[in-house]
């Protein structure tokens, strides 16, 4: 899964650059509102909200805007009605595409996603057609130069860690969503710095693509990501090394 993970890391760096343009602010604000609406406004009791706040801080969203988004989610402040949904389909080469949306007009946004899939060599599928290919996981990343696999295991096993993945420059510690907050707290109490923490959809297996197909998939991904109402896009493709090197450069 190295090609998939490395691409994922490149996307996160790109996301931090986009934050300077303010685009990511809309997405992280929506996620905070939705998380607070569904699970309450206390991060220690709401793993999704805790992850959303961490993402917002990484994107440099101001503290007052984070607090406002929480209050809008809990109903303390008035807010637009936002509906969550998932669009499932396939991209070029048959790769799975799981597109999470948050919108005030579901019909419009689903139509936009369907159009972009068709326009870029993909297709919309029925509900459940690709969701089974992914697992909902908490993922904590740690700098390899700072910690060993043994150190992470020693702290993590009792707190819910399921697996530790060698992900190039970082270790990825994976857990069930309900163990996300306790695991993060355990590492923090041990004085171990988490470089990134998220609740995400992890593909069970990846599908290798050739450079030409990879470029088409990336074009589709970027087109979907540019939609204001698209929150997250999960895929199972694995890019070839030559294409990853192009992206790095």
- CATH number of the domain to which 235 belongs: 3.30.70.980
Do residues 42 and 157 share a domain?
no
d(CA 230, CA 232): 6
Q: 235 lies in which domain range? A: 83-132+205-248
Which are the contacts of 32, defined by CB distance < 8 A and separation ≥ 6?
49, 52, 53, 56, 66, 69, 70, 73
Which are the contacts of 76, defined by CB distance < 8 A and separation ≥ 6?
none
- Percentage of the chain exceeding pLDDT 70: 91
- The answer to whether residue 21 scores a pLDDT higher than 80 is no
Query: Count of domains in the chain?
Result: 3
Do residues 199 and 236 share a domain?
no
How many residues does the structure list for the chain? 249
Contact in structure between 103 and 91 (CB atoms under 8 Å): no
C-alpha closest to that of 99 among 82, 77, 116: 116
Which are the contacts of 130, defined by CB distance < 8 A and separation ≥ 6?
88, 89, 90, 96, 97, 98
pLDDT of residue 13: 53
- The answer to whether residue 1 scores a pLDDT higher than 70 is no
Do residues 55 and 7 share a domain?
yes
Average pLDDT over residues 138-147: 92
Do residues 186 and 236 share a domain?
no
More confident of the two residues 20 and 126:
126
Do residues 188 and 89 share a domain?
no
d(CA 128, CA 123): 14
Indicate the pairing of strand 96-103 with strand 207-208.
unpaired
Q: End-to-end CA distance of the chain, in Å?
A: 21
Do residues 54 and 149 share a domain?
no
More confident of the two residues 242 and 137:
137
Q: Can you give the CATH number for the domain in which 8 is found?
A: 1.10.10.200
The per-residue pLDDT for range 30-86, each reduced to its tens digit, is 999 999 999 999 998 999 999 999 889 888 899 999 999 999 999 999 988 999 999
- The answer to whether residue 9 scores a pLDDT higher than 80 is no
Average pLDDT, the chain: 89
pLDDT of residue 3: 47
The per-residue pLDDT for range 157-172, each reduced to its tens digit, is 989 999 998 887 889 9
C-alpha closest to that of 50 among 31, 24, 63: 31
Do residues 160 and 218 share a domain?
no
Do residues 188 and 236 share a domain?
no
């Amino acid at each position: 899964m190295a090609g998939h993970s490395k691409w994922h890391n490149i996307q996160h760096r790109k996301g931090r650059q986009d934050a300077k343009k303010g685009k990511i602010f809309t997405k992280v604000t929506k996620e905070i509102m939705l998380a607070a609406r569904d699970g309450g406004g206390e991060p220690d009791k709401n793993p999704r909200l805790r992850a959303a706040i961490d993402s917002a801080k990484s994107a440099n969203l101001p503290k007052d805007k984070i607090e406002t988004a929480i209050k809008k989610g809990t109903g303390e402040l008035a807010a637009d009605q936002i509906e969550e949904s998932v669009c499932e389909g396939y991209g070029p080469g048959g790769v799975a595409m799981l597109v999470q949306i948050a919108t005030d007009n579901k019909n419009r946004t689903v139509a936009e996603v369907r159009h972009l899939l068709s326009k870029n060599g993909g297709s919309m599928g029925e509900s459940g057609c690709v969701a089974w290919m992914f697992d909902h996981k908490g993922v904590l990343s740690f700098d390899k130069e700072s910690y060993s696999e043994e150190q992470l295991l020693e702290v993590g096993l009792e707190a819910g860690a399921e697996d530790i993945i060698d992900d190039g420059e970082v270790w990825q510690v994976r857990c069930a969503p309900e163990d996300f907050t306790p695991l993060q707290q355990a590492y923090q109490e041990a004085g171990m710095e988490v470089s990134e923490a998220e609740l995400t959809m992890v593909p069970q297996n990846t599908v290798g693509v050739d450079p030409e197909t990879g470029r088409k998939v990336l074009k589709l991904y970027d087109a979907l990501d540019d939609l204001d109402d698209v929150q997250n896009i999960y895929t199972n493709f694995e890019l070839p090394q030559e294409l990853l090197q192009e992206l790095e450069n």
